[in-house]
A and B are shown apart, each in its own frame.
Chain A
Amino acid sequence: MSNHASVIPGPSPVPAFTLSRRRLLGAACVGAAAGVLLLNPVGSAWAAAPKAETELATFMTLSQRLTGRNDLDGKLGQSLYEALTKRDAAFAKDLGELQGKLGKTPQGLSGHPQEVARQILAAWYLGLVGSDHTATVVTYQDALMFKAVDGALKPRAFCFGSPGSWAEKPVVGRA
C-alpha cells in the first residue's frame, strides 16, 4: 500500500543546520495535526526539543561530511532522521560513535561505525531506510543518486522529455 505520508515534497531552500526551536515546534504541530506525532503536551515537547535539535544537527553535520554536499535539504534530512531513529532506537547513540570515529576521511571507518555511515549514505542517495523488503521509502525522486547523474537520467516513472529526445548524446549536467 502506498504511504503518502512519507512522500517528501520538492527540495526546500531552508538551510538545515540551525533548526530553530520555532521550526521544530512547527514540524511537531504539523505532525500532531496529522495525528501521527507528539501526543505529549506542549510542555514536554519544549523539554525534549534541545536534545532532538542537537541530535538532528549532528545527523545533518555527519550527512554533510559523508555526502560532501552543502546543499542538503533540511526537511528531507529531518524525515530521514526520523525514519532512521524509528527503525533503530539506538541510532542516536550510533551517531555519537560515528562522530567520534570519523576522522579526516570516511574511508578510514570500519566495523559498526562504517555500517552506520552506509545507512546514512543509503538514506540520502537511495532514499531508503533499511535494506531488505521491510525498508522504508522516505523519498524516491529526491534521492541524491539522481543528483549524482546530473540530468542525464530521470527517476523512472517520471517523464524523460519530448518523444524521441533520448536519441541525443547525453550531456551530463544538462537536464
Chain B
Amino acid sequence: MATVQQADFVIVGSGIAGALIAHQLALAGKDVLILEAGPRLARHEIAERFRQQVDKSDNQAPYPSPAHAPHPELNPSNHYLIQKGEHPYDVQYIRAVGGTTWHWAASTWRFLPNDFKLKSLYGVGLDWPIEYADLEPWYGRAEVELGVWGPTDEDLGSPRSAPYPMAPLPLSWNEERVKTVLNANGYRVVTEPVARNSTVYDQRPPCCGNNNCMPICPIGAMYNGIVHVDKAEKAGARLIENAVVFKLEKGRDGRIAAAHYKDPQGNEHRVEGRTFVLAANGVETPKLMLMSDVGNSSDLVGRHLMDHPGTGVRFYANEELWPGRGPQEMTSLIDFRDGAFRREYASKKIHLSNMSRVDQVAAELIQKGPLLAGPELEQQIRDRAARFVRFDSFHEILPNPKNRIVPSATERVAGIPKPEFTYAMDDYVRKSAVHTREVYAHAAKLLGGTEVVFEDTFANNNHIGGTALMGNDPKTSVVDKDCRTHDHANLYIAGGAVMPTVGSVNTTLTIAALALRLADRLKQV
C-alpha cells in the first residue's frame, strides 16, 4: 500500500555528497530525509566478505548487488550496465548506505586553477561558471570534514588558505625508493593528499597498513561516506534505506512536488518535500531525471558523460621494493597535470601502486608456465612480490554530448530501466596515452624493469563526471553555478554530475567541496 511522507529537504542518495549536505542541514536544524536505494552495511561484514572472496582484485565482490537496487557486479557480470557505444563505460559504484566511498583510494586532490578554464586557456572542453578561488574555502572545509593528510613540504599547484588537517605518515619503502629514483631523473613524484588518518582524528584511528583501502578499510582509518551518514542521523536527519526513487513528480510553477520510491517488495511510496537534492551519482541521477522528464529542457541531461580513462604498466624492478606495506597508494607523478600541451592532448596524473601482489604473483606462478614447486616456487613468489611495479594513470577526457547515459528503453530490472551507455575514446585521450606510455617505458628503464607489460585498455576509473553540467546558460547546461537546475526552482544536484570537466585527478574532494558549498546555499532556503 502506498504511503505518504514529508520532509523539508529530501535528499536522494546517501553517498559522500548527500551525506555531507544532510549533515550540514541537520546541524542547522533543518528537517531532512535521505532516501537511499541500497541497504545498510556493517564494516566488519564487508571486511569478512573480502577475506572470503575468491578474486581479491574484485572491488565490487564484498558488496553484493541488491536485487531491488542493482549495482554493477563484475565476476561474473550481472549485466546491469547496457553498453551501446564503441567503448564500454565499465563503471563500478555501490548502492548502499554511505555510497561508493566504501571503496576508494581516499585520494583527495584539489583541482588546479587552470582546470576550471580549459576552454578559455586551451580552446578545448568547457569553462566552469566558477573559478578555483570560489571553491578554495570549500576545499578547505571538505578536507577538515573528511580528515585529509597532505604534504607539508611540496606545492601541489592548488593554492591553499589553510594547512592540511593532518601531516602524512611516512611513505612506504616502495614509494620512497621509486620517488627517489624518478625525481633524480627529472620527474616530480609527490606525497598524495588522502582522506586517511595519520593520527586519531574525528574519533577514528590512524592507518595501520591493512593495505586494503579498496575494497574496504577494516578499521575506519580511511574516510568513508558512512561517517557523515552517521553524523547526519545523530544530528536529526532521517534515512530510509532500500528506498529506490524511480520518479520525481512535477507540481505547480515548475517545482518538484514529490519523489516516489519502491521498497524491496515493490510497494510504492510518495515523499513530499519543499526542496529536493539529487545525489545519486552521475549515472543514477541523470537516469532518474530522464525517467521523470525533469530538468532536461536543454536536452543535456545524461550527456557529456566522463571518467578518467586509464592506462597502466607492470614490470619487475631490479631491486626489492615490496609493494604492499602500508596503504595502497601514497604518491603521484604530477608533471603532466597542466601545460600548453592541453591544447593538443589530455592532462593526466600517474600513480604508483602500493598494493600487495603476493596473491597475484603466486596465482600466476602456480597456474601458468612451467610447474614450480617447493623452495623454488616460494623463492619465485618472494622475488616477484618484492620486485613487482605497477603504475596507473588518469587521462582527462573532454566533455562530449555524444557520450551519454540514458535509461534503457528495453531492459529493466526490478521494474526500473537499467542504465544504457554510449561512450567512446577521443584522439585527445589517445594522443596523451601515447605519451603516457613513453613515460612508463622511461620509468621502467630507470628502475631496471624487465617483463614490461603495457595495458592500453582505457580502463574506467569510476570517477563519474558530467551528465548534468553546471553553467550560466540554460540552453547549454543543466544546473546553474549554485547547482540548482535551471528548470526547477527547488531541485538541486550534488555530485560529479555537475562537473563541466574532470581534470586529471580523483574527483571526490571536488564533489565534497561542491556539496558543502551547496549545503551552505540550502541553509538560506
Contacts and interface: CB of A to CB of B under 8 A. Distances in A.
A133 B64 contact: no
A157 B55 CA distance: 14
Interface size class, chain A: 35 or more
A26 to B, nearest CB: 26
Interface in B373-395: 373-375, 377-378, 381-382, 385-386
B79 to A, nearest CB: 15
Main secondary structure of the interface of B (DSSP, over half): loop
A126 B362 contact: yes
Main secondary structure of the interface of A (DSSP, over half): loop
Interface in A153-169: 153-169
B359 A145 contact: yes
B174 to A, nearest CB: 9
A68 interface: yes
B172 A133 contact: no
A28 B366 CA distance: 32
Given A117-B371, A153-B356, A154-B211, A163 B385 contact: no
A131 interface: yes
Contacts of B176: 167
Contacts of B56: 156
Of A66, A114, A135, A170, which is in contact with the most chain B CB atoms at under 10 Å from its CB? Answer: A170
Nearest to A153: B324
A18 to B, nearest CB: 23
Interface string B31-48: 000000000000001011
Of A4, A114, A155, A163, which is in contact with the most chain B CB atoms at under 10 Å from its CB? Answer: A163
B374 to A, nearest CB: 3
Interface in A32-66: 65-66
A132 B64 CA distance: 18
A107 to B, nearest CB: 6
A166 B370 CA distance: 34
Contacts of B362: 125-126, 145, 148
Contacts of A107: 370-373
Interface in B176-222: 176, 198-199, 206-212, 216, 218-219
Interface in B237-292: none
B325 A2 contact: no
A106 B211 contact: no
A109 interface: yes
A90 interface: no
Nearest to A140: B51
Nearest to B177: A169
A24 interface: no
Interface in B327-362: 355-356, 358-359, 362
B366 A150 contact: no
A172 interface: yes
B173 to A, nearest CB: 5
Contacts of B355: 156
A84 to B, nearest CB: 15
A3 B373 CA distance: 30
A72 interface: no
A86 interface: no
A21 to B, nearest CB: 31
A155 B176 CA distance: 22
B208 A159 contact: yes
B1 interface: no
A89 interface: no
Given A118-B366, A149-B385, A158 B210 contact: yes
B381 A149 contact: yes
Given A135-B54, A161-B208, 9 more contacts: A106-B374, A107-B371, A107-B373, A118-B367, A122-B367, A128-B54, A152-B386, A167-B176, A170-B322
24 contacts: A107-B370, A107-B371, A118-B366, A121-B366, A121-B377, A125-B362, A126-B363, A126-B366, A144-B378, A145-B358, A148-B377, A149-B382, A153-B322, A154-B209, A154-B211, A157-B211, A158-B210, A160-B210, A160-B211, A163-B169, A164-B169, A166-B172, A166-B209, A167-B171
